[in-house]
Chain A
Amino acid sequence: DAGVIQSPRHEVTEMGQEVTLRCKPISGHNSLFWYRQTMMRGLELLIYFNNNVPIDDSGMPEDRFSAKMPNASFSTLKIQPSEPRDSAVYFCASSLRQNNQPQHFGDGTRLSIL
C-alpha cells in the first residue's frame, strides 16, 4: 500500500522565492497534518485538516505560510516569500479521523533557503 507521498524530497532556493510543498495522503484517510522539524524546536504542528477543512492553523508561524487542501487526495503548504529561518524538514502526515487513530508520516521535504 502506498504511504503518504511528499514532493519534492529536497528543495534549495534563494530567500524571497515562493516555495510550494506537496502532499498526497494515504487513500481513505480524512485527516491531514503538516509539521515542521528542526533541531532547536523538534516536531511542530503547523496546521491540520479534517475532511479537507482546516481545523487548527495556530501553529502556522506567520502570514507568509499558507496551506490548502482542495480535495481528499492532495494538499499544499506554501511559503511566500521564503526566508532562511524557514529552513527545516517539513512533514505531512495523515490518519483516519476516528477516535485516536495514529498518524502516518511521509518522508518529508528538506527545505533550504539560502
Chain B
Amino acid sequence: GQQLNQSPQSMFIQEGEDVSMNCTSSSIFNTWLWYKQDPGEGPVLLIALYKAGELTSNGRLTAQFGITRKDSFLNISASIPSDVGIYFCAGRGNTGNQFYFGTGTSLTVIP
C-alpha cells in the first residue's frame, strides 16, 4: 500500500514551546488530514486540507497542504499538557475513498 513517512517519530518538549511535524508521500494526494489520538481512544480529526498551498488553523494548530501535493505540515503553538498524544497524518489520492495513514508522531509535553 501507499507509504506515508511521518516525522519526527517522537517529540519531548517543554510546555509553551512550539511544535512542528510533517508528513511526506511518494505520490500526489488531493486531501490531507491530521488526527490526534489520546490513549484508549480513537483518532479525532483536527484539520482537513483540500487544496495545494492551503493553510488552515484550528485554535493553536495550523496545518499546511504542501505545494508539491506530496507533503503536509502541522504546527502547534504554545504547547500545553493536554496536547500530549499521538498525531497522525492521512492522505488520499484521486481514486477510491481510502485514506493512507502515517506512522504517527508521539508528543510529550513536560510541564
Contact = CB atoms under 8 A, between A and B. Distances in A.
A60 interface: no
SS class, residues of chain A in contact with chain B: strand
Contact of A55 (B44, B96, B104): B96
Contact of B50 (A33, A48, A55, A100): A100
Given A31-B97, A42-B104, A100-B50, A107 B42 contact: yes
Contacts, number: 53
B3 to A, nearest CB: 11
Interface of B: 1, 30-31, 33, 35, 40-45, 48, 50, 88, 90, 92, 96-104
B98 A56 contact: yes
Contacts of B96: 55-56
A43 B97 contact: no
Q: How large is the interface on A (under 10, 10 to 19, 20 to 34, 35 or more residues)?
A: 20 to 34
Given A42-B104, A56-B96, A97-B97, A105 B42 contact: yes
